[in-house]
Structure 1
């Protein structure tokens, strides 16, 4: 009986493990795949070294203080890895987190020799260079909890007092550089704070690491925040996010041993006792497997219902061809707004009086019908006040029409680069435009259904509505990614030189940070009133970024400001120049993300780090006035050069 039950138990356990692994795919809070140290192939010596060191995180049962490091191999194919857990975790929880990290990180960064990923409970990093005992602050990641705080000043005072000793407490640790504190906020809620460094850092290095990220976290107006770097992390919240009881008792007290058996107690050696243990366990596992099976059935049905819903959405978005033809006067030249590489755009008016813009796509598109419709549904779900809205489509044979909302004013470049019109665009309007573009880009990067990297952000692709609110358009070059994918590679670079980040223009490496670079260029254009590709200083042709950096370094940033804006708030304009320079950093990891940009634009009290020299195309010999082209022979885009996203296979 015992042998049969054990066999069934083992089989069901295997089924449970396989089903569990197939239905769970943990996602990092943030991960970074570095291309700075090169890539490896699946049969390389470095791959073998990396597999060896990462395997230790799944097999080791004695992880010390939530931290472990390994290295294996010979240079230049030697692999190094560091696993780091939150200080209050039990060893088994820590190991489980690191094992998940090992699997996820090698899947997300399959060829990079260096990468890092962060979960709530742990982080894992590997590289082909030694990282042991070295304090590193990049790459880093910041998150804000923007929940309202009832007493902003009182909350800040309590939080500041809490933090005053936290860094010293964590840095002075020996086997564990980990500290937590709790306190009562002015509204009688609790504040929970945690600071931690990797134990292999010196006390001074730990202090420096925590000081650096602490200086970048605003304490005013936020209910919580967290910061992650390779060497340290920091977090505060109004709810317990660590095991308070475990920390109070000290997470590394000797384990409590079970009481000894009372003399004369019989040990579990009889078949009856074995049955008492095995049968209930077997029943529980059967129930668990049954629940998982039901879960899979429910999820499959849910996916089916979502598919049906998608089909319904497609039908609701489809326009009648005769309706569009009537609205545009049979696509008359009088209603043509412009023509780009993807086809002409016409203004139209529906029978209910609504104005629309209709793009008639060229008939040589290589996109399939189902792919086209699925993409229309995805783009139509992007609902944000700072994005041009797709209203619907028509598809039949070779005829493909996209229907957008009509935005009455022209594109941003028609205003800021026109000497007469720019004089009517005061700083208040320009600042509103900058913040609106930032909010729209943040939505694409973080809040939309899919993470969308635009890849062709520039002033010509920003429309202005009747109230001069900006709307981002032209997703014809965008890339849609899974939610936790922040970068990728392409062998088909598209966009416009000057706006493109160097790593994208030169190497085809695009990311949300390449969009940030483009946004930084636009900020400097909006403040200066000059194009990135045709800026002049007197008789000399100058690159706008190099001119901005030269004046920033010499303390004459005011020289960059459009002469028509000199009567506005100079401190706010110079702060925008500062933020713009932080967006065009040469090092991708040093650039801000859009969440930070939006926060900084809405709070003048947050201190800004000093920028470094921005990336320069001139040093690469790249012709600034050149535009990258798609497969079609693109012409200069019109004010309504809006295109459906072209998804490339991965």
Structure 2
């Protein structure tokens, strides 16, 4: 009986949390395109869709994605593409709440649909069985007016002011760096005591020219939707604008930077005669092991990917017997070179593999990390993507690192948007100490015996 009461209370609190979350959002519109097919219950497509929605919800909690994330899962004909875009001035918590609620709400509104779009004032969420990444999509247009009233003071000048302001900030939004928010706001003087507030935004995966083209198309609809209106908006799938005679956005959000994680507070020294907690020791050891091993594992995976690619090309060129013999010859050379020369040779940059990868990434010289023996056969674009994923996995702030399910999707899909990585853990803090003491390091001389079967 007690257990039943507890379950009812827990369920009530959970329901209340969902209702509260929904009340914080401003629902606008949902679209279930009728020219798309339906999926069947318990089908592969439904499984991929659930995976996509789960990934969107989990990645909405990250701090370094600029309110945008896209991902795909599965293979044709069951592939699913998903995306969310949060309004550029909302906080991370509002973005997270909007996306989390939207992933549940959209399934209720577009049941068994292979494509859907749901719009809130705070975010947009979308999925489809057709690839819409990095493309200008004007397949649906939504006109909205917050106020049905017309302006009465110089209406023609007001129309011109709206168009000019939107065009100006469209240029600013479109010219944002790759992966950054393509978002801009501006206020302009309409009358002595009346100001015009405007906002534009594109999905960050659009190029500068595509973002400009999308916003130009949206602004061209001003005459159809908002002639002389005190406020209005046009929403395309890939971009949108809005203007009002009141401040409807957070004016400071555009220049706010994501705060850096607080510095670690050193633990107080143990009291005299006190015993150190075994649990604390285990936690310290675990942090050290993870911090040391994860970068090595991730970057070893990058090198292994190129080796696999090299073997695949070799297999196509020779017959089965020759390839079998060549494989073991290359493996023996690789082992001998790796151990006899002290392991993988770092490029000219840094004293550790992770630090070197981070430095080359920032310099734009990612290809220098590829082993020279594999440089001719390793796909540079594919290697760059794997390096990008690897650096995302070793960011200093654990909350910025992708989840394992997200990493799997990133590796499977070459179309998903990847945010810019932040500085890895253990890089940049004590590099000077390493350089200062490098001369004191000893060389571990060893021999390697290579055993062959008789």
SS in 2 for 1:254: coil
Q: What is the rounded CA distance, in whole Å, between the counterparts of 1:111 and 1:76 in structure 2? A: 16
Instruction: Report the alpha carbon displacement of residue 239 of structure 1 after superposing the two structures with TM.
Output: 1.3
Q: What is the rounded CA distance, in whole Å, between the counterparts of 1:264 and 1:72 in structure 2? A: 48
Q: Where does 1:55-454 land on structure 2 (aligned, <5 Å)?
A: 55-60=54-59, 61-62=61-62, 64-144=65-145, 145-151=147-153, 152-174=155-177, 175-218=180-223, 220-247=227-254, 250-251=255-256, 253-255=257-259
Q: 1:36 to 1:91 in 2, by over 3 A?
A: same
Within the candidate set 14, 17, 22, 1:20 is matched to 17
String of CA shifts for 1:43-63, please: whole Å, max 9, x gaps: 111000000000112222226
* Higher mean C-alpha displacement, 210-219 vs 228-237: 210-219
Contact 2:56–2:83, Cα closer than 8 Å, also in 1: no
Q: What is the rounded CA distance, in whole Å, between the counterparts of 1:133 and 1:162 in structure 2? A: 26
SS in 1 for 2:111: coil
Q: What is the rounded CA distance, in whole Å, between the counterparts of 2:206 and 2:29 in structure 1? A: 23
SS in 1 for 2:37: strand
Q: What is the rounded CA distance, in whole Å, between the counterparts of 1:124 and 1:220 in structure 2? A: 29
SS in 1 for 2:114: strand
Q: What is the rounded CA distance, in whole Å, between the counterparts of 1:11 and 1:244 in structure 2? A: 43
Q: 1:164 to 1:135 in 2, by over 3 A?
A: closer
Instruction: Report the alpha carbon displacement of residue 206 of structure 1 after superposing the two structures with TM.
Output: 0.8
Q: What is the rounded CA distance, in whole Å, between the counterparts of 2:44 and 2:261 in structure 1? A: 45
Contact 1:57–1:95, Cα closer than 8 Å, also in 2: no
Q: 1:11 to 1:135 in 2, by over 3 A?
A: same
Paired residue total: 256
String of CA shifts for 1:229-261, please: whole Å, max 9, x gaps: 1100110011122111222xx14x130666987
SS in 1 for 2:117: strand
Mark the runs of 5 or more structure 1 residues left unpaired by the alignment.
Answer: 1-8, 266-650
Mark the runs of 5 or more structure 2 residues left unpaired by the alignment.
Answer: 1-5, 270-454
Q: 1:111 to 1:263 in 2, by over 3 A?
A: closer
Contact 1:58–1:99, Cα closer than 8 Å, also in 2: yes
Q: What is the rounded CA distance, in whole Å, between the counterparts of 1:22 and 1:193 in structure 2? A: 31
Instruction: Report the alpha carbon displacement of residue 161 of structure 1 after superposing the two structures with TM.
Output: 3.2
- Higher-RCO chain (CA-CA 8 Å, sequence separation at least 6): 2
Q: Where does 1:543-622 land on structure 2 (aligned, <5 Å)?
A: none
Q: What is the rounded CA distance, in whole Å, between the counterparts of 2:90 and 2:220 in structure 1? A: 27
SS in 2 for 1:147: coil
Q: Where does 1:465-544 land on structure 2 (aligned, <5 Å)?
A: none
Contact 2:166–2:200, Cα closer than 8 Å, also in 1: no
Q: What is the rounded CA distance, in whole Å, between the counterparts of 1:257 and 1:12 in structure 2? A: 36
Q: What is the rounded CA distance, in whole Å, between the counterparts of 1:109 and 1:202 in structure 2? A: 30
Contact 2:134–2:206, Cα closer than 8 Å, also in 1: yes
Q: 1:11 to 1:245 in 2, by over 3 A?
A: farther
Report which of the two structures shows the higher radius of gyration computed on alpha carbons.
1
Q: 1:173 to 1:24 in 2, by over 3 A?
A: closer
String of CA shifts for 1:434-462, please: whole Å, max 9, x gaps: xxxxxxxxxxxxxxxxxxxxxxxxxxxxx
Q: 1:42 to 1:263 in 2, by over 3 A?
A: closer
String of CA shifts for 1:37-95, please: whole Å, max 9, x gaps: 31101111100000000011222222601100111111100111011111112222112
Superposed CA RMSD in Å reads: 3.0
SS in 2 for 1:131: coil
SS in 1 for 2:51: helix
Q: Where does 1:617-632 land on structure 2 (aligned, <5 Å)?
A: none
Instruction: Report the alpha carbon displacement of residue 148 of structure 1 after superposing the two structures with TM.
Output: 3.2
Contact 1:155–1:186, Cα closer than 8 Å, also in 2: no
SS in 1 for 2:76: coil
String of CA shifts for 1:605-629, please: whole Å, max 9, x gaps: xxxxxxxxxxxxxxxxxxxxxxxxx
Contact 2:56–2:82, Cα closer than 8 Å, also in 1: no
Q: What is the rounded CA distance, in whole Å, between the counterparts of 2:127 and 2:264 in structure 1? A: 44
Q: What is the rounded CA distance, in whole Å, between the counterparts of 2:83 and 2:117 in structure 1? A: 9
Contact 2:189–2:195, Cα closer than 8 Å, also in 1: yes
Q: What is the rounded CA distance, in whole Å, between the counterparts of 2:267 and 2:112 in structure 1? A: 60
Q: What is the rounded CA distance, in whole Å, between the counterparts of 1:130 and 1:65 in structure 2? A: 21
Alignment-derived partner of residue 45 in structure 2? 46
Q: What is the rounded CA distance, in whole Å, between the counterparts of 1:221 and 1:104 in structure 2? A: 35
String of CA shifts for 1:501-542, please: whole Å, max 9, x gaps: xxxxxxxxxxxxxxxxxxxxxxxxxxxxxxxxxxxxxxxxxx
Alignment-derived partner of residue 360 in structure 2? none
Alignment-derived partner of residue 470 in structure 1? none
Query: Which protein is richer in helix relative to its size?
Result: 2
Instruction: Report the alpha carbon displacement of residue 12 of structure 1 after superposing the two structures with TM.
Output: 7.0
Q: What is the rounded CA distance, in whole Å, between the counterparts of 1:128 and 1:208 in structure 2? A: 25
Q: What is the rounded CA distance, in whole Å, between the counterparts of 2:62 and 2:266 in structure 1? A: 31
Contact 1:198–1:231, Cα closer than 8 Å, also in 2: yes
String of CA shifts for 1:515-571, please: whole Å, max 9, x gaps: xxxxxxxxxxxxxxxxxxxxxxxxxxxxxxxxxxxxxxxxxxxxxxxxxxxxxxxxx
Instruction: Report the alpha carbon displacement of residue 188 of structure 1 after superposing the two structures with TM.
Output: 1.7
Q: 1:58 to 1:263 in 2, by over 3 A?
A: closer
Q: What is the rounded CA distance, in whole Å, between the counterparts of 1:141 and 1:208 in structure 2? A: 17
